[in-house]
Structure 1
Amino acid sequence: MSIQIVPESERSPGVGPVEPVQLPAAQLPYARRASRLQHLAQGHAMADYLLWAADLAHAQQATAEALPLPAEEADRLTAVLQQQPQTPLHSATWPRSAHWQALLDGLLHRMAQQPRMQTAAIQQALARLQQADAAQRDAWAEALLSALRSDAVTEAHALPEAGVAQLLWAALSLYWRQLASHLPATGQATLGAPRHLCPVCGHVPTGSLVQGGAQAGLRYLQCSLCECQWHVVRSTCTNCDSTQALDYWCLEDEHAPIKAEGCTDCQTYLKAFYQQADHQLELVADDLASLALDAEMEAQDLARSGINPLMLPLLGAPD
């Protein structure tokens, strides 16, 4: 099954009440994420990093409130959707406007004022981005997006160092989330390609959320770039579609709210977050606070198939 993005007027009920795609709400979630990170940091071995990530999420929230998506950019989403229903906001083809760089400037300004951003490494990354011109920032962004899609990165678009990449991604993710939240569309499930990548922007998920309440048991993958969620049936590998080689791992007991779904066919895993076990879960924050489970999966020689937007993988050295 694949998911196509279609205008809202073409909404289909899918299978029962299951929505194939859930676009992110215009009310940005960064404040809740920041609060959850602060809570998880209490007594945590990674408290310093979780609190740093909370400050970054606070900066994203403030920047989003100060700089909403311009009306003219929101207006062109309808035409784009009609021309390109398959991954309409694909990061390889979407023409980034100057708005993403305005978001980056706003983010850098707010981060520079926060006490936890005063370390030498962060100050160096902030300075690199503040001093870079628009062309250099765009080149870095292009290389970063390509690398995280696992596309080839040319010499002309060298990857930035890790700290610069992390701050760039915070702005790019905010930009794509604003775009996705304004997309006048819904999802339509059709027979076709697997659902490994986000049907809106083409990026890998961060993890899967097994929902509670009225949608108890439904599994949605959450995109690492635009934060859309798309439905994938459970007991299926989110990387290769295998149903025969799945194992579930956790650090507590079988009722743990966070588990890793490992697949011995493709030798990958992705973490699943169970809302019924913990109603306070925030996927990105709880994923970051459960890296001990990632270490256990690496010990099993399984590679992570997802990306956390608050801790990017090593992507190679700059030129």
Structure 2
Amino acid sequence: MSIRIVPELQSGNQREKSAAAEPIPPLLFANLKSLYLRRAERLRQLAADNPLSDYLDFAASMATAQHQVLYDNPLTLDLSEALQKSGDTGAPPLDLNTWPRSDHWLRLLTALIAELRPEMPTHIIAVLDNLEKSSVHELESDADALLNRDFSLVSNEKAPFIWAALSLYWTQMASLIPGKARAEYGEHRQFCPVCGSIPVSSVVQIGSAQGLRYLHCNLCESEWHVVRVKCSNCEQSRDLNYWSLETERSAVKAESCGDCGTYLKILYQEKDPQVEAVADDLASLILDAKMEDEGFARSSINPFLFPSE
């Protein structure tokens, strides 16, 4: 099954037909009121007694800045045409490969730099200075490289700041989509149905979505449903294994697939209601090292940790 976003009216026409057949919400948009503050709180909580405490604290500062910049720089945008085009082509409405970026994301980057500067140490301030001195052409080229996953073209120091601004931009746009999602037959559920990016991790939820797994987009922060006990990358289910650093009650595990040789973190809210897709993935890098030793490659990217090549 794939997920498609359709206009409100069209979704309404399908509602009665799909109510019995589709009780599972296929797509969850981010709650902008709490997204970044909850992430910052979780990162600071996880920083205690963690060997990556300094970097987790930095990530928490970034999330806090994103929250402030989000409300200081609102976005107004009519996405009706983009949604209609998406329906005609089958591509995500905010496709990261084709979306014509406005300079709003650059304003977000400038605001992030200003928000972060007062509390950053000297070596990070130097990175912020370099970003401020970069031309629009250089920044746009870096953005293109990150979105195209040409990570070796962007320094590891600059990448998290540029991605943070891009992510804010896409998250704002996603919140303005005038449509609903529905599940359809098809494949490629490893990609976000909103923007076409890849997940950072997956979360098995509690509450109204009890026991359901949702992949969390590393760009627009949307979450989409993918059934459990199925590889989120190649959709096979023959050779899945689950790894953790603690006991069976661990809230963070890695789901590995012997078919495609990749893994994705899976977080269990029933074991820890505070788990957060980005924060808990970043704080469990020791598990990534274990998975690498076992011969598996990540199928995801954390917005605070880009591969060097």
Per the TM superposition, whether the score is higher than 0.5 is yes
Does 2:93 align with 1:88?
yes
TM-score by length of 1: 0.90
Task: Encode CA deviations 1:241-264: one digit per residue, 9 max, x unaligned.
Answer: 111010011111112111110001
Q: CA deviation at 1:28?
A: 4.8
Partner of 1:260: 254
User: Residues 179, 28 of structure 1: CA spacing in aligned structure 2 closer, same or farther, 3 A cutoff?
Assistant: farther
Q: What letter matches 2:104 in structure 1? A: H
Which residue in the other structure is 1:283 paired with?
Answer: 277
Q: Which moved more, 1:136-145 or 1:167-176?
A: 136-145
State the partner residue of 2:189. 195
Query: Structure 2 length normalisation: TM-score?
Result: 0.93
Q: After superposition, what is the alpha-carbon deviation per residue over 1:91-129, rounded to whole angstroms, capped at 9, x for unaligned?
A: 111111111100000001111111xx2232x22321121
| CA deviations over 1:153-198 (Å, ceiling 9, x no partner) | 9xxxx82211111210011011111111111122111111231110
Change (3 A) 1:135 1:28: farther
SS at match of 2:153: coil
The residue that corresponds to 2:121 in the other structure is: 118
Partner secondary structure for residue 125 of structure 2: helix
Q: Using the TM superposition, give the Cα deviation of residue 214 of structure 1 relative to its aligned residue in structure 2, in angstroms.
A: 2.5
SS at match of 1:147: coil
| Aligned counterpart in structure 1 of residue 110 of structure 2, from 88, 100, 105 | 105
Match of 2:263 in 1: 269
Indicate conservation of the 8 Å contact 1:269/1:305, yes or no. Answer: yes
Tell me the equivalent position of 2:131: 129
Indicate whether 1:213 and 2:218 are aligned.
no
Partner of 1:49: 55
**Counterpart selection for 1:295 from 267, 289, 292:** 289
SS in 2 for 1:186: strand
Decide which of 19, 26, 30 is 2:25's aligned counterpart. 19
What is the aligned-residue identity percentage? Answer: 46
- The aligned counterpart of 2:10 is 10
Which whole-Å CA distance do the structure 1 matches of 2:8 and 2:308 have between them?
A: 39
- SS of the aligned residue for 1:89 comes to coil
Flag structure 1 segments of 5+ consecutive residues without an equivalent.
none
Question: Which of 139, 142, 145 is the equivalent residue of 1:140?
Answer: 142
Cα deviations by residue, 1:207-229 (Å, 9 ceiling, x for unpaired): 11101123211111010110111
User: What one-letter code is carried by the residue in structure 2 that aligns with 1:62?
Assistant: Q
The equivalences for 1:165-180 within 5 A come to 165-180=159-174
Q: Distance in 2 between matches of 1:189 and 1:304?
A: 26
**Letter of the structure 1 residue corresponding to residue 107 of structure 2:** A
| 1:159-170 matches, cutoff 5 A | 159-170=153-164
State the secondary structure of the residue aligned to 1:311: coil
| Matching residue of 1:229 | 223
Tell me how far apart the structure 2 counterparts of residues 241 and 160 of structure 1 sit (CA, whole Å).
31
In the alignment, is the contact (CA less than 8 A) between 1:205 and 1:307 conserved in 2?
A: yes
Paired letter, 2:54: D
Q: Distance in 1 between matches of 2:247 and 2:162?
A: 38
Report the RMSD for the aligned CA atoms in angstroms: 1.5
Q: How many matched pairs?
A: 300
**Distance between the aligned counterparts of 1:209 and 1:293, measured in 2?**
16
Say which SS state the counterpart of residue 84 (structure 1) adopts. Answer: helix
Residue type of the alignment partner of 2:189: R
For residue 149 of structure 2, give the secondary structure of its aligned residue in structure 1: helix
Equivalent residues of 1:26, 1:182 under 8 A apart: no
Say if 1:213 and 1:276, in contact at 8 Å, map to a contact too.
no
Matching residue's letter, 1:300: E
Q: Is the 8 A contact 1:24 1:181 kept in 2?
A: yes
User: Residue 162 of structure 1 aligns to a residue in which SS?
Assistant: coil
Is this contact kept in 2: 1:173–1:225, CA < 8 A? yes
Partner Cα separation in structure 2 for residue 109 and residue 18 of structure 1:
42
Residue type at the aligned position of 2:7: P
SS in 1 for 2:158: helix
